[in-house]
Amino acid sequence: MSNKLAQSRRGLFLVISSPSGAGKTSLSRRLVAAFPDLAPSISVTTRSPRPGELDGREYHFITPAAFDAMVAGGAFLEWAEVHEHRYGSPRAPLAARLDDGLDVLFDIDWQGAGAIAKAAPNDTVRVFILPPSMTALATRLHTRAQDAEDVIARRLGRAKGEIAQWTDYDYVILNDEFDRAYGKLALIYQAECLKRARNTWIAPFVDGLMGE
Summarize pLDDT for 60-106 with one digit per residue, the tens: 999 999 999 999 999 999 998 877 899 999 998 899 999 999 999 99
Residue 18, C-beta contacts closer than 8 angstroms, at least 6 positions apart: 24, 128, 129, 130, 131, 162, 175
Is 167 inside any structural domain? yes
Rounded distance, CA 92 to CA 6, Å? 27
196-208: average pLDDT: 94
Rg (CA), the chain: 19
pLDDT band at 128 (very low <50, low <70, confident <90, very high): very high
One-letter amino acid at 90 equals P
pLDDT of residue 166: 96
pLDDT of residue 133: 87
pLDDT of residue 191: 98
Is 48 inside any structural domain? no
Number of domains, the chain: 1
Is 177 inside any structural domain? yes
pLDDT of residue 6: 57
8 Å CB contact between 137 and 24: no
Is 67 inside any structural domain? no
Is 192 inside any structural domain? yes
Q: Of all helices (H) and strands (E), which one includes residue 142? A: helix 134-144
Residues in the chain: 212
Q: Which of 165, 207, 200, 172 is nearest to 10 (CA)?
A: 200
Q: What's the predicted TM-score (pTM) here? A: 0.83
Is 140 inside any structural domain? yes
Using a 10 angstrom Cβ sphere, with 0-12 exposed, 13-18 middle and 19 or more buried, the burial of residue 122 is exposed
8 Å CB contact between 112 and 94: no
Residue span of the structural domain in which 111 resides: 3-41+102-202
pLDDT at 111 over 90: no
| CATH classification at residue 190 | 3.40.50.300
pLDDT band at 109 (very low <50, low <70, confident <90, very high): confident
Is 21 inside any structural domain? yes
Using a 10 angstrom Cβ sphere, with 0-12 exposed, 13-18 middle and 19 or more buried, the burial of residue 172 is middle
* 21, 50, 109, 142, 153 from 139: Cα distances, Å: 9, 19, 20, 5, 12
Give residue-wise pLDDT tens across range 146-182. 666 666 677 776 888 899 999 999 999 999 999 999 9
Is 87 inside any structural domain? no
pLDDT of residue 3: 47
Rounded distance, CA 79 to CA 135, Å? 30
pLDDT of residue 127: 98
